[in-house]
Amino acid sequence: MHTNSVVVATLSLFSALVNSNPLTNPSLETSPATPLVERTAGAVYVCTDVNWGGQCSYIATPLNKCVVLEGALLNSILSFGPDQGGFCIITDNPRCGVSSPYFDISYPGIADLRTIGWNDRVQSYICLTS
């Protein structure tokens, strides 16, 4: 009989807690939601050797803007990989010219640009969302 009394008391207490008003914390404040903005950047991972070797760089890349390679990366890329969810167009023109030869690359990229005849040719690229 004692066990039944304990069970009934426990269930009564639980029921009272569940049915009571929720606790409020006056120290918690809400703020207005910030508006969503269109993503303006992605990134590409490039390397000067095949299979993601040699000198590698992770380049923050604005979407829909031509990126011109400079320095050690100019005409030296052998691995090229855009971020997931996007794709890039590589060109052998310093200004993403569409009259130049170009090649589309999507995630995860190409570990050996020699396989498509683009070793040491990339001068610029433009990335878009797919």
Can you give the residue ranges of every domain in the chain?
A: 42-129
Per-residue pLDDT of the chain (130 residues), as tens digits, is 555 554 444 445 445 544 555 555 555 555 565 554 455 568 999 999 999 999 999 999 999 999 999 999 999 999 999 998 889 999 999 888 777 889 999 999 999 999 999 999 999 999 987 6
| Residues with Cβ within 8 Å of residue 87, at least 6 apart in sequence | 104, 105, 106, 107, 127, 128, 130
pLDDT given for residue 99 in this prediction? 77
* Architecture of the domain delimited by 42-129: Sandwich (2.60)
pTM attached to this predicted model: 0.67
What is the total residue count of the chain? 130
pLDDT given for residue 13 in this prediction? 47
